[in-house]
């Protein structure tokens, strides 16, 4: 997106230091029912988790998916491992996953049992469109049409 001057920061002027965040590694969601969450997200993402701990036949306490063009990770963690005082209601930060058709994806997530958190919302005139649902396990899942994501992807592949 744009900075406060309305311009897009240049990809050719890195500001990376040893302490500068370089990108998302894992988004973690809590669930009281890990097997049900795994089944739901397997349907949403169209892939099986690549990591399950502990291994079967023990019940899974942590499961990880690798998703999309950059293989970003989504972890599902048994809520019993949440830190003391962790929120149990949806809220806080929304992580948006790029999709090619936010309206169709939003409708699909609702059909799969998600509930509305943010309706389909155009964000200005730059082609950014967002929506979010609360998954059946109480986590907020955002989806977004993001022209910047596509430009970065095209630069990586080109």
For residue 152, pLDDT over 70 is answered with yes
What's the pTM? 0.85
Query: CA 56 to CA 54: how far, in whole Å?
Result: 7
Task: Tell me what percent of the residues of the chain surpass a pLDDT of 90.
Answer: 73
How confident is the model over 104-125, as a mean pLDDT? 96
How does the average pLDDT of the chain come out, rounded? 90
Over residues 48-70, mean pLDDT: 95
Q: Quickly list DSSP for 63-75.
A: EEEEETTTTEEEE
pLDDT confidence of residue 5: 39
Closest-CA residue to 72 (of 54, 95, 53)? 95
Residue 40 contacts residue 34 (beta carbons within 8 Å) = no
> DSSP label at 79?
G
Q: What is the largest CA-CA distance in the chain?
A: 55
pLDDT, average across residues 2-17: 55
- Asked if the model's pLDDT at residue 153 lies above 70, the reply is yes
């Amino acid at each position: 997106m744009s900075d406060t001057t309305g311009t897009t920061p240049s990809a050719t002027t890195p500001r990376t230091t040893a302490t500068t965040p370089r990108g998302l590694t894992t988004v973690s969601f809590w669930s009281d029912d890990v097997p049900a969450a795994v089944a739901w997200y397997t349907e949403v993402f169209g892939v099986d988790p690549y990591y399950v701990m502990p291994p079967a036949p023990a019940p899974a306490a942590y499961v990880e998916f690798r998703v999309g063009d950059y293989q970003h990770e989504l972890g599902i963690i048994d809520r019993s491992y949440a830190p003391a005082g962790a929120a149990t209601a949806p809220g806080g930060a929304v992580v948006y996953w790029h999709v090619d058709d936010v309206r169709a994806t939003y409708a699909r997530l609702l059909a799969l049992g998600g509930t509305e958190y943010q309706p389909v919302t155009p964000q200005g005139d730059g082609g950014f469109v967002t929506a979010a649902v609360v998954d059946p396990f109480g986590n907020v899942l955002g989806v977004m049409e993001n022209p910047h994501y596509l430009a970065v992807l095209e630069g990586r592949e080109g």
